[in-house]
């Protein structure tokens, strides 16, 4: 029988992302403890970025636009394994992942140390309906313009990660 989301077990980590214990998802979120997550930017051959709109049933950031894929790293799991698992679960896609950068835990990332990956594909994502209410490919210019006009429709984590992505990629404005 699958675990309920609140019963998932995450590694607790310190400010240096070193494991110091384990706790349930509920405890981690209620007590704002440091933990781990992954975000993946899925780009197509036109250099458009797939964004997901989080399901209204999500406990964090319901109804907001976010990275192509995002998810918590389970206890004992490494970042890359989690990234492959989440990409398959959320978008039904498997493929190569390239590590881009890491963001340290803080309030904007909901106390998550975030490893960010990219994947390139022209496969059509099939969004998991319990996780994602809709998704589509956006041009980088469209994201930047929308983020300026309507920053409230994006998750705080996405805004931090997208800013770093632009600094470290060929898409620098």
In the chain, the domains with their CATH numbers are 5-167 (3.90.79.10)
Q: Does 41 have pLDDT greater than 60?
A: yes
pLDDT of 100 reads: 95
> Which H/E stretch holds residue 26?
helix 25-30
Residue given tokens 């799991």 in the structure block: 77
In sequence order, the 6+-apart residues with CB closer than 8 A to the CB of 71 are 37, 38, 82, 85, 86, 89, 90
Query: 75, exposed or middle or buried, with CB in 10 Å at 0-12, 13-18, 19+?
Result: middle
109-123 pLDDT per residue, tens: 999 999 999 999 999
pLDDT of 1 reads: 40
- Provide the percentage of residues in the chain whose pLDDT is more than 70: 95
d(CA 8, CA 163): 30
d(CA 133, CA 55): 5
Q: By the 8 A CB rule, do 148 and 61 touch?
A: no
Sign of CA dihedral 84, 114, 124, 163: negative
Rg (CA), the chain: 15
Q: Is the pTM of this model over 0.85?
A: yes
d(CA 102, CA 92): 24
Mean pLDDT in residue range 144-151: 96
Distances (CA, A) of 54 to 51, 68, 77: 9, 10, 23
Residue given tokens 């070193």 in the structure block: 18
Q: Which of 123, 76, 114 is nearest to 96 (CA)?
A: 123
d(CA 14, CA 58): 26
Q: By the 8 A CB rule, do 20 and 116 touch?
A: no
Question: pLDDT category, 26, cuts 50, 70, 90?
Answer: very high
């Amino acid at each position: 029988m699958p675990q309920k989301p609140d019963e998932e077990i995450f590694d607790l980590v310190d400010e240096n992302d070193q494991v110091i214990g384990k706790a349930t998802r509920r405890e981690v979120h209620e007590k704002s403890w440091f933990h781990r997550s992954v975000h993946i930017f899925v780009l197509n051959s036109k250099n458009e970025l797939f964004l997901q709109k989080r399901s209204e049933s999500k406990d964090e950031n319901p109804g907001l636009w976010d990275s192509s894929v995002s998810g918590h790293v389970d206890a004992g799991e490494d970042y890359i394994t989690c990234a492959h698992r989440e990409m398959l679960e959320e978008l039904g896609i498997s493929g190569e992942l390239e590590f881009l950068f890491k963001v340290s835990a803080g309030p904007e990332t909901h106390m998550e140390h975030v490893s960010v990956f990219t994947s390139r594909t022209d496969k059509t994502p099939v969004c998991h309906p319990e996780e994602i209410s809709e998704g589509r490919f956006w041009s980088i210019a469209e994201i930047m313009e929308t983020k300026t006009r309507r920053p409230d429709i994006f998750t705080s984590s996405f805004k931090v990660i997208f800013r770093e992505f632009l600094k470290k990629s060929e898409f620098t404005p």
